Structures are given as structure tokens and as C-alpha cells.
Structure 1
Amino acid sequence: MKAVLYESFGAPPRLAQVPDPTPEPHGVVIKVMATGVCRSDWHGWVGHDPDIQLPHVPGHEFSGVVEAVGQQVQKWKAGDRVTVPFVAACGHCPECHAGHQQVCDHQFQPGFTHWGSFAEYVAIHEADINLVALPETLDFATAASLGCRFATSFRAVVDQGKTSAGQWVAVHGCGGVGLSAIMIANAIGANVVAIDIADDKLSLASALGAVATVNATQVADVAEVVREITRGGAHVSLDALGHPTTCFNSISNLRKRGKHVQVGLMLGEHTTPAVPMSRVIAHELEILGSHGMQAHRYGAMLAMMDSGKLSPEKLIGEKISLAQSIDALMNMDSFVVAGATVVTEF
């Protein structure tokens, strides 16, 4: 099969012919119909993920059609339209039994722990607990964004932030995760303030429901501006980028007893950011992490999509070929594209 392969961290990947995967007894092989180019893939390519073994095929947010099925799989058959959470679970550990597959003790991640979806086919283990059926009405490009950015944002806003109608939500970083969070928070009835450094992304944030925007390059104190807009601070604030500055601002712009949700990955030299802990204590703030979403929670998200309350297709930016994904991956850190870049041509 064709796949994007890199043999050393930070070196240009290449389009290569590699062996087709075969399903494990409890797994499936999926024919990839669309795969997103995500900042997490960039983190892996530059060497921030210790799980990656070289040579490697990236890609973790995808949709496709079941191509081959292991003999122990009971719920799926060839031809089924599916997607997969980017954090996949073992199904047997205490966390899985408690319903918390997104923090499975033995989790695996396509594109990180094994070869991913920048390829014509990808293998997924433990298919019965990890696959999500896609409605026939949902196109593959939109479905690809659900496995990471959109589902992660849904869990961050709904399950972790417990956002409710009328609350103020601040979203720091208007990439794929941030724009998804804005749409979801707006659908719930919250008032969203979007913060970024690019006017085109802020314009898109407004189109998706943000009631106010802040260009961080044009104000002296982002947190103070957000507190002014929200008349006291956000009830829920998300760092959707993953940077010490956005993390600090997100915590600092909360009102008393507010919730900060860290969604953007903090890797490399950013793993130990400064935190305004005196403010956390004095204002009884909550600091929460959010890492993916369980397959069994997709139904709530898909129901909101079916009702028209959520329209993740509006977040799709460029549609590119597998060959073009190489440049898209290498330039992921330049923040030049508004919306999600999705590979749809293999």
C-alpha cells in the first residue's frame, strides 16, 4: 500500500510502498477514506512522543470502511463505515470497566503506538470496543475530524467543563480543536470569547458562534481583556493550543470557582508551564485535563450533529492528496491554515 513514511525525527517524510496490514484476531483493517492532518501528528514527527518507533507512518484522525475482520470480532463486518477515537482502549483494565476508555491503562493510538492513517489502510486492535459506526449521511472528510479534534473538544466542553447555557467560555487558540470547541459551546447555549493571533481564524470563530474575539497580539493583557468582556471572568476556559502562554492566560481569565480545561498537548520544552497557583487557591479554580473521548460517548455527539446543532463540516479547510500531506505535516507549526486540513485523495 501507499503510505507516508519517515525514518528519522524531523527529516522530510516520503511517499513509499509498504506492506499491507493484516487484522489481529480481535482487530480489523480499515481502508482509509479520509484522514486529518493534526498538530499532534507534527508533535510526533519532530520527536515529542516517546512511543513512536522508527520508521513510522503518522496519522490518527481518520474514517473509512472495514476491509478485513479478525476471527474474534463480533460486532463488525467488511463494508461497515467507521471511525475510531484517537485514544483506543484495551477493554479489560479497571479504567475500561469503569467506562473511562480515554485513559485506558493499556491504551494504544494509531499514528503513535503503531502505524497510522497516512496510508491506504490502517490496522485497529480490539475492534469491538473501539470502532464507531458512521451514519450513511455523514461524509468521510467530516467524519475524519471526529476522531481527534471534534471529539476531544466535545468531551472537554461537555464532560470535563460541564458547560451550561448562559455561561461564559473562553477558547485560547482557534485551530481545529479551538474552532470545534467554539461550535460545541455555542450549540449548548454558552457565550464564547475566542482568542488567537490571526484575524482570519478569529473571523471564522465569529462565524461559528463566538460573541467576542481577542487578537492576543493587539492587547497588553489577554486575561484582563477577557475578564472585562465576561464581566468577571470565564466560567470555563480552554487552552486549545498547548503553549505556556495560552495555558497561563486561560487560568488567569477565569472567574472565581471557574474551570480551566487543558486540551492542547504540552510537549517538548512546554511540559512544565508556569501556573498562577496563588490565583488557583484563592479563587478555588479547577484545573482539568481532557484527552480524547470514549467510543461509547460518540452517540451524544452524533445525535447533536443529526439534529443540526453541530456542523463539523464547516470546520473543513483544505482537502489534499496523500502526497500533499507531507508538506502539510512539515508546516503544521506555522499556523497558516484556517480550519482542518483533510487528506481525501489516496
Structure 2
Amino acid sequence: MGRRAVLVATTILILGVTSSVSAAAPWTDRGWGRLSAKAYQRSDLCANLPGVQRTVPPGYTKDASGACLPPPMPTPTPTARPPNAVPDPQPGFTRVFTDQFDGTALDPAKWLSYTGTFTSSEGCNEPDNLTVGGGVLTQVFAYQGSGVCGAGWYHGSMVVDRAYGGNNQSVTVRFRVLNDDPATTEAYRIIPMRWPSPIDDGPVPPWYLGEADYCEGSSLDGCSTFLHYRDVDTQVVRRHTFDLTRWHTLRATQRPGNDVEIYLDDMAVPVWSYDGNATTVPDVFRRTVLQQECAGTCPTTRTGSERIEVDFVTIDDHR
């Protein structure tokens, strides 16, 4: 059965900025015979020094004045994003949101981070458990000795800004899940969810009238789609089997006519299509959520962790 989560409090994760510099490489003697590296740096000549080999070592160059130039330092290879391009929108849809997590923190113009507890499970949302670096968002599930809820299990969840919500939308997420001890550290995740929300500051609609959980579960060998409607006990369910520890691109599309499609890696052919109606797929305003939590009760141990790594998220509106 799908999880039912109600946000207790919301906070914005403040954008941080970091910088890095490359330190100069230490000097090495590169086969200069009896001439020490320190003496070589003072003389800065390649030849005609007593007791020193007169050839330029491999990789070095000598300019017209006889100055010997060491080989250039190699440019450090940056952390590469997973080799997969962001797919284009489907015909009939227009891209309204893209986040490839190229910064050092969540973009507060795009996302709101959760803080505090869900009603659906134990555990606590902590904005610090959402980190961005190397082109990847990481949602961390781990035990902490302190935090906004005291000692306990913490996780990271977030929702897009209201400006990027809608009804008929297509959400694409590339992600994987890494768990260093699945036997004892079981987390629950919904990647992605579309949560019924007010268009303005009006009342929040009941979650069961349109919550769409496109990849929900705690196992690492697959997930399930839950399309909630009518009441707390009614939903359309479909199981998808694949290895969540490897990178996959999942796309969930709701089309006019209340139809839903799930794509996995192949963006041309859906792995599941559901011909819904206004009852089973209500026409409501929804916002995209990336949710992580305890699987009902939290682990009894205090060791181990799980990480959801997200390469990109896109949202397309049907035009």
C-alpha cells in the first residue's frame, strides 16, 4: 500500500557557495644526476652545469635562453556526471523545469526541503541530509545522535516550488540507490511522487484524491506505482522489477484523458500504460516530490546508511 505522508513543517535549504584551488605540484628530481632539485631550481639551466647530465629529461623542454621547463601539470579530471543525456520532452509537452544539480546546494528557487516528521512513518526529515556536489543530489538515510528531532534516524526529502506544479505533466528522474547494509538498514522511498497541492494558499486537498507514487518501496530489486483515488484504501498498483543500485532513467507521464505511462530507460516505449478516468486519475494540481523515510518503523540498529543519488530531474507540461 502506498505511503501517506503529511508535511509537518517546511524549510528552505539556503544556497551555499564553495570554491577550490589547485596546489602547486611538489618539485621532483626527474633524473638530474648529482644536481639536487633545489640547486636546479636556482640555476634553471638544462645544460653546461658541471657534473650534470646535459640532455633534457623526457617530457621537459628548453627555451632559447637555455631555461629548462618542466612538463605541464595534468589538469585534474572533474567528477563526471553519469554518462546519460537529459531526454527531450515528449511530443505535445513543453519543458518547464530542469535541475542537473550542478551547484553546491539545493536551488531554493526550485526546491523546498522538508524538516520534521511524517505521519506515515518514524524518522525525521533533516535539510542537511540533502547534499549537492559533483553534479549529483544525494538523499542520505542514517542514524544521527542529534538533530531537529533529537537522536534517531534521519532522511532527506524535498518538493518542487509551486511554480512548477500542474495536472497533466511528465516527470523524468535519473537515479540509483546505494545501501551499505540492506539487511539491517531498510529505508523507504518514493522517487518520484506527485502530491496533490493547493494552487494558491488555499486548503490542502486530501492526499488520497490524486497522490501518484511512481516508484515506491524499500527493496533494491524494483518498486511499485500507486495511483491513489477515492479513499485511503483504494489505489491502482503496478510492480516494476529492475536493479535500483544501477543508474536508471524513469519517466512518469500523465496525459489528458487521465492516462498514465511509466517509461524505464527507453523513453520511446512505456513499460506500463494505464487507461484511467477522472475517478482513478483525478484532475488535480500536483507538485513533484522526492521522498525518503523509514519503512514504517526505523531500523533497530544505529549503523549503516542508504543514499539515493539523483542525476537530474525534469518536468514537462502538456501544452
Q: Could you say whether these structures have the same fold, taking a TM-score greater than 0.5 normalized by the shorter chain as the test?
A: no
Q: Which structure's CA Rg is the greater one?
A: 2
**Normalized against structure 2, the TM-score is what?**
0.29
Query: Quick check: which one's strand share is greater?
Result: 2
Higher relative contact order (CA 8 A, sep 6+): 2
Query: Quick check: which one's helix share is greater?
Result: 1
**Normalized against structure 1, the TM-score is what?**
0.27
